[in-house]
């Protein structure tokens, strides 16, 4: 007598659905997002970057957003990325870009009568969101106040070597006067309302005649 045994073979398959091929953004406030929550993901897009407008922090406070992007395929297979990008926002919903390093005035030398040349440096690869603007102040007899005074020069920052370097001529000054010189770095995206880095003040007497200095012949001819 023979016994016939029924065998069951299970197999699964997926049908491609191009509408599922997308990037998904998951966001948690002050903690990793709950990937299984009903309000996640907060945004999707077929391409990068993914746009999302978060709720602002409470008045006078900031909060940290833990942002994780995962990729879903057209077969509805989802990646398992667990590495967040942290973004701090304020009570206006704007990103807090963090502090800026302090620039350093390396020299101030005389040019022609009524001209001084300011040399400065700003360290690269230190700030998470670095500065991209120089402002140079020079006031007679008093330290500059960047909140009140107008800079003598505003210059876009170039990236040369290990540091960003400035060589800036200030003209139209009064020979014989003692100028208090300050250099400030800032980020153009913050439109004057964000963080700045302020150098120490250097005092320099504008000479009557041209006085060449070894520093003026610096190889850093650009800003």
Architecture of domain 104-217: Sandwich (2.60)
- In this structure, the number of other CB atoms found within 10 A of the CB of residue 31 comes to 9
H-assigned helices in 131-211: none
In the prediction, which pLDDT does 7 show?
Answer: 56
pLDDT at position 65 over 70: yes
Q: What is the DSSP letter of 78?
A: B
Q: Are 122 and 131 in contact (CB under 8 A)?
A: yes
216: helix, coil or strand? helix
In the prediction, which pLDDT does 219 show?
Answer: 46
203: helix, coil or strand? strand
Question: Mean pLDDT of all residues in the chain?
Answer: 88
Annotated domain spans of the chain: 18-89, 104-217
pLDDT in tens, 41-54: 999 999 999 999 99
Q: What is the DSSP letter of 71?
A: E
Q: What order do you get walking across the sheet with 163-170 strand by strand?
A: 104-110, 116-123, 163-170
In angstroms, the Cα distances linking 198 to 67, 89, 135, 146, 166 are 32, 24, 9, 9, 14
Maximum mean pLDDT: which of 79-88, 89-98, 139-148, 203-212: 139-148
pLDDT in tens, 147-176: 999 999 999 998 766 789 999 999 999 999
In the prediction, which pLDDT does 194 show?
Answer: 80
> Could you give the CA distance from residue 150 to residue 147 in angstroms, rounded to a whole number?
9
């Amino acid at each position: 007598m023979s016994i016939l045994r029924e065998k069951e073979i299970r197999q699964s398959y997926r049908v491609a659905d191009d509408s599922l091929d997308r990037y998904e953004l998951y966001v948690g406030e002050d903690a990793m997002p709950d990937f299984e929550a009903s309000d996640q993901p907060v945004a999707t897009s077929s391409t990068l970057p993914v746009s999302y407008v978060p709720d602002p922090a409470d008045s006078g406070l900031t909060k940290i957003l833990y942002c994780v992007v995962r990729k879903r395929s057209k077969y509805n297979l989802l990646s398992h990325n667990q590495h967040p990008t942290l973004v701090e926002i304020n009570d206006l919903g704007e990103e807090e870009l963090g502090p800026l390093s302090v620039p350093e005035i390396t020299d101030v030398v005389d040019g022609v009568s009524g001209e001084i040349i300011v040399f400065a440096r700003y360290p690269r690869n230190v700030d998470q969101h670095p500065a991209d603007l120089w402002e140079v102040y020079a006031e007679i007899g008093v330290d500059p106040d960047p909140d009140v005074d107008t800079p003598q020069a505003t210059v876009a920052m170039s990236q040369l070597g290990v540091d960003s370097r400035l060589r800036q001529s200030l003209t139209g000054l009064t020979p014989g006067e003692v100028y208090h010189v300050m250099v400030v770095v800032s980020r153009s995206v913050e439109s004057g309302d964000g963080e700045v880095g302020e150098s120490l003040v250097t005092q320099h007497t504008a000479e009557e005649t041209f006085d060449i200095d070894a520093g003026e012949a610096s190889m850093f001819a650009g800003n």
